[in-house]
């Protein structure tokens, strides 16, 4: 055997949406841009790559194809419920980039219902307290693994 990587939902999620352009496609769909040509232009993805990404995202249940014309057969792409649940990922990535890369002029600003510009904060749904590094503890449940690595750090 040749040492499987750590079992992890982050890795599993990235296997679906971690390829180049996948999250940008989702961004466009979230913005209401649902057609092939527009998504291609707005993301910069080559058309053949976009074809592959859309196919994968549809198979993963993140997007769905909805017909908007029968003849010729034409579809648009919409986020499913699962797809919409990825929005916090987009928002969080955007907030990081706004802070660290585009501090002086943000390309897009999100306005929250309350009227303020959104700065997103991750909290515990249960107690409402901040969910930051210092308030979290990892419990590795995958058999054979610990926080540091595999139990048997070499052999099989």
Partner DNA sequence: GGTGAGGGTTTGAAAATCCAACGCACAGGG
Partner DNA sequence: CCCTGTGCGTTGGATTTTCAAACCCTCACC
Chain residues 27-56 in contact with DNA, contact rule CB under 7 A: 35-38, 44-49, 51-52, 54
Q: Are 34 and 78 spatial neighbours (Cβ–Cβ below 8 Å)?
A: yes
- The crossing angle, in degrees rounded to 10, of helices 47-59 and 36-43 is 110
The whole-angstrom separation of Cα 75 and Cα 36 is 9
The one of its own copies, DNA, none whose footprint includes residue 58, by CB under 5 to 8 A per kind, is none
Q: Which of 1, 9, 10, 71 binds DNA (CB under 7 A)?
A: 71
Beta carbon of residue 146, minimum distance to its own copies (angstroms, whole number) = 10
The whole-angstrom separation of Cα 63 and Cα 121 is 26
The whole-angstrom separation of Cα 43 and Cα 26 is 10
**What is the DSSP-derived secondary structure letter of residue 61?**
T
**Closer to its own copies at the Cβ: 65 or 106?**
106
The one of DNA, its own copies, none whose footprint includes residue 84, by CB under 5 to 8 A per kind, is its own copies
Beta carbon of residue 154, minimum distance to its own copies (angstroms, whole number) = 9
Q: Are 50 and 37 spatial neighbours (Cβ–Cβ below 8 Å)?
A: no
**Closer to its own copies at the Cβ: 73 or 129?**
129
The one of its own copies, DNA, none whose footprint includes residue 51, by CB under 5 to 8 A per kind, is DNA
Q: Which of 42, 75, 84, 106 binds DNA (CB under 7 A)?
A: 75
Beta bridge partners of 80: none
């Amino acid at each position: 055997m040749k040492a499987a990587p750590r079992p992890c939902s982050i890795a599993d999620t990235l296997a679906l949406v971690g390829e180049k352009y996948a999250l940008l496609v989702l961004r466009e769909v979230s913005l209401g841009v649902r057609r092939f040509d527009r998504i291609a232009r707005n993301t910069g993805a080559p058309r053949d790559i976009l074809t592959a990404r859309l196919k994968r995202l549809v198979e993963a249940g993140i997007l769905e194809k909805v017909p908007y014309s029968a003849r010729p057969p034409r579809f648009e792409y919409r986020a499913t419920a699962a797809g919409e649940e990825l929005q916090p990922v987009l928002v969080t990535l955007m907030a990081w980039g706004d802070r660290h890369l585009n501090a002086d002029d943000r390309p897009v600003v999100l306005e929250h219902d309350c009227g303020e510009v959104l700065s997103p904060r991750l909290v515990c749904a249960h107690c409402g307290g901040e969910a930051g590094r210092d308030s979290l503890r990892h419990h590795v449940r995958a058999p054979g693994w610990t926080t540091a690595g595999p139990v048997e750090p070499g052999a099989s």
